Structure 1
Amino acid sequence: MASPDLHSQLTARFEQLTPKQKRLAQFLLDNLYVAAFESANELAARLEVSAATVVRFSQALGYAGYPELQAAVRAGLPKTLTAAERGERALAAASNGAAAQVRRVFDADIRAVTRARSSVDLAQLETICLALAEASRILVLGAGVCSGVAAHLDHGLRLVGLPSALVAAGGIPLAVGLANLDEQSVVIGFGVWRYVKSVVNAMVFAKQAGARCFALTDSPVSPLAQHAELALILPTEGVGHTLSMAGMLALANAIQVMIAHLRPQQTLRSLRNVDQVYQFGDILLSD
């Protein structure tokens, strides 16, 4: 969320902005970490406006130029708040009851999925999916809040017949997972917010071993993004002490669907084989 001063500037002057400037304002409110580190040219290209429009937008908010606006954005960024600190702030600010807060959670997840759909570069997504489809070995890394979505992607990759393995903890399981990585291996790392050291260190090791490394993370300057060949940046702004993983989960589903499209026959064969094992083992409740 933008700092109170910046937020008030944007909302107070929103109606006076041009349509393109309004797009910039909305992006700024929704993607602070991106705006904090991208240049005016990069931001302009992302939103398909001119760099001059970005400068004029900054001036319309009362700043000398984009560098001054960017400095204000950075100054207002939350640092590494703990979950307890996030919760304390949310509880202190909440004055309209639990039901309203619950609705905000669903609204935050809807926004996260919508923003993920509009911001993900499909060409980059296809590059990642092609690498996964051709890999001799896949390692999916995700700990803490990312462990669930990492497990979901790993399960989906194995379901369609890809050689995936999940590592959600450090120590010996991670060491075994990292052993024997090579140029035909692909590593997918999940990481958001305060980032887990073991996942970041594993990405560093995997890159040195020659594996292709990709990240699903919340900032273009996150430690995972810095060590990845490609990083898909996803919004995770939640309510209270929580983060929204809805956009990341939707992207994990998109990866599975794109891989199925890239290798349809192999996918169908694997799905049929899985069904046969389910039936043989009497695993699922029957109709």
Structure 2
Amino acid sequence: MVAAISVRELDKTYASGFTALKSIQLEIRHGEIFALLGPNGAGKTTLISIICGLVKPSGGQVLVDSHDIITQYRQARAAIGLVPQEITLDSFATVWQAVSYSRGLFGQPANPAYLEKVLRNLSLWDKRDKKIVTLSGGMKRRVLIAKALAHEPRILFLDEPTAGVDVALRKDMWELVRRLRNDGVTIILTTHYIEEAEEMADRIGVIRHGELLLVEEKQTLMHRLGKKQLRLQLAEPLAQLPPALASHGLQLSEDGLTLTHTYDKREAPDVPGLLQAVHEAGLRYQDIHTQQSSLEDIFVHLIQETA
């Protein structure tokens, strides 16, 4: 199957000599939600800007629905909807004027029924005649999404779409993204909120210093790099860990109240043996539970490894 987006040996070096991207190789499948994670300055926005035709690459090739972004710019760009980080809108246009203009900009014929559906899905229908300058920040961000969807793109880029918005709006956007994916739209998401990627993404890419560190199925990544912890909450604090318990791989928390055993998810801990060792050390515990690594834990680990 032809990829929605194919990136081959992509480089970007600015006139100042700063290299923003280094030999990026990436394929994004039709109909998936792909999350691109990385710290500030990692190259996320540069990569998106090149794919969307806003920044010229220094080398390599990018195909969007098999259209080269340089030699077939119009066809490639028409397939893409972009929601940028910054709110850039004509403040004195109405919501309806803004989305209608965006649709016409791509040569699409008028389709009021479709635009009404988009605005209703974004809870903007009752604001359609309001000037954008009168809207809240969250509503302006919804307008950005409506403008990006106005020409019916099959690929949607969301660059930090929920930055600075409240929890309720963030959840609304998650629901919208799921609906779009169900309709066959390919979603590429960059975010600082790693729970968004964990909640929604099918695959995860991690970028740092302009290099793509890995691309994995979300569940595969969490299985391969995730850890589990077995925690014993002690009835009374310990001043130090008995040597016998250290040999079982147990660690003592700073407050002396928790014993922790960290293990690979593919392994099965010897829980009876651990509890027997705790009992033989003369310790009493009042609670026991397990905790699994989150995507955020894995992300932090990867970034620290490559720092």
TM-score (norm 1): 0.25
Determine which structure has the larger helix proportion and give its number.
1
Determine which structure has the larger strand proportion and give its number.
2
TM-score (norm 2): 0.24
Based on CA coordinates, which of the two structures has the bigger radius of gyration?
Answer: 2
